[in-house]
Amino acid sequence: MAAALNAVDTTTPPGKVDRVDRVGMVGLGVMGAGIAGCLLRKGFALHVHNRSAAKLASLLALGAQAGGLAELGRHSRVVVLSLPDTAAVEAVLFGADGLASTLAPGSCVIDTSTIAAAATRQFAQQLAAAGITLLDAPVSGGQQGAEQGTLVCMVGGERAAFDACAPVFAAFSARAVHLGGPGAGQVTKACNQVAVTGAMLGVAEALALARREGVDPAAVREVLMGGSARSFSLDKHGQRIVDQAFEPGFRAVLMRKDLRLALDNGAARGAYMPLTTLAEQLLDALCEDGRGERDWSVLGALFAERGGA
């Protein structure tokens, strides 16, 4: 990495976090803005940083301070990241004025982004050389969960840092679970996306079949919700498919990215992932025909189209 790290503080035990009341937030997209709002409502002194200044106004009105990345790093002892991909996280950590060179030893970075597990392990090792702990904490629960503080956090990293940061996690999540060392959170998020995708493919195919057979998909969904087919995908995404309401939500291009990460993880370990491979191909088709910015439940429309329904 290009940026020099802080000098190693040999007096800082692994995972030690000095204080958690001074918090920074980097990335104010759909998820990050919700998390930042929760932190402010819980009374944290919050500094925020985002490439687009247009997204700052509502948080400034709630009491946030805004500034450059270096300023945020100097102010904060815990920094929460919500960024789109591995490259963006790497740039914030190790690029110009990155957190690796501005956070003090004894600080912690909580990365709620969904990125590569292998890169997370590398980043954690590099930050540890500067006395900084990285917790990989990808989330589930969507925009509504971020805004309401009801996310589920899947956390990897030093247990001591996880325990110290409990008040921060409590501000924006209903449940935060420590799963193991660095990268364990990202592996768990990959498993989550694989499982959710399997359910979504079944829902999309079932409703397309109903439509093709001339049976009302809304009625089919309602009946299935009362039996063993009931699931989050049938409830939430099934309703989107019935209503043909595909405003995000969670964009198809992001789910494609997540499944590619899962497939990369699986390939490195020799895992057999035929369902995820198929789902990635279908999502790639959606993205290539210009529907990548729509909610990923638009898979339901693709199934109907290809079946002539």
Q: Which two tokens stand for residue 252?
A: 């198809």
Q: Which two tokens stand for residue 231?
A: 């699931």
The pLDDT value given to residue 10: 42
214 cis-preceded (ω within 30 degrees of 0):
no
Whether the Cβ atoms of residue 99 and residue 92 lie closer than 8 Å to each other = yes
Whether the Cβ atoms of residue 6 and residue 104 lie closer than 8 Å to each other = yes
Give yes or no on whether 22-181 and 188-306 have one common fold: no
Q: DSSP strand E in the chain: where?
A: 22-26, 45-49, 65-66, 78-81, 108-111, 133-136, 139-140, 151-156, 173-180
Q: Which of 55, 189, 236, 257 is catalytic?
A: 189
The pLDDT value given to residue 12: 53
Whether the Cβ atoms of residue 151 and residue 169 lie closer than 8 Å to each other = no
- CA gap 235, 46 in Å, rounded: 36
* CATH 1.10.1040.10 is right for the domain spanning 188-306: yes
Alpha helix (H) ranges present in 129-216?
142-148, 159-164, 166-172, 184-212
The pLDDT value given to residue 253: 95
Domain boundaries, the chain: 22-181, 188-306
The pLDDT value given to residue 21: 78
Q: Is the torsion defined by CA of 190, 191, 194, 195 positive or negative?
A: negative
Compute φ and ψ for 183, nearest 5 degrees. 95, -15
Q: Which two tokens stand for residue 38?
A: 């929760």
The pLDDT value given to residue 55: 77
Token look-up 């079949």 returns 209
- CA gap 136, 155 in Å, rounded: 6
- Taking each helix axis as running N to C, give the angle between helix 184-212 and helix 117-128, from 0 to 180 degrees, rounded to the nearest 10: 160
Q: How far is CA 285 from CA 159, 188, 252, 279, in A?
A: 41, 26, 10, 10
Whether the Cβ atoms of residue 39 and residue 168 lie closer than 8 Å to each other = yes
Q: How far is CA 8 from CA 27, 81, 157, 225, 296, in A?
A: 27, 23, 19, 56, 44
Measured in whole angstroms, how far is the alpha carbon of residue 212 from the centre of its chain? 35
pLDDT of the chain, 309 residues: tens digit per residue: 333 344 344 445 556 676 677 899 999 988 999 999 999 999 999 999 988 777 788 899 889 999 899 999 999 999 999 999 999 999 999 998 899 999 999 999 999 999 999 999 999 999 999 999 999 999 999 889 999 999 999 999 999 999 999 999 999 999 999 999 999 999 999 999 999 999 999 999 999 999 999 999 999 999 999 999 999 999 999 999 999 999 988 899 999 999 999 999 999 999 999 999 999 999 999 999 999 999 999 999 999 999 876
Give the architecture (CATH level 2) of 22-181: 3-Layer(aba) Sandwich (3.40)
Q: How far is CA 63 from CA 11, 39, 82, in A?
A: 35, 11, 20
The pLDDT value given to residue 158: 96
**Model-level pTM?**
0.88
Whether the Cβ atoms of residue 172 and residue 35 lie closer than 8 Å to each other = yes
The pLDDT value given to residue 81: 98
The pLDDT value given to residue 15: 64
The pLDDT value given to residue 14: 58
189 counts as catalytic: yes
The pLDDT value given to residue 307: 82
The pLDDT value given to residue 309: 65
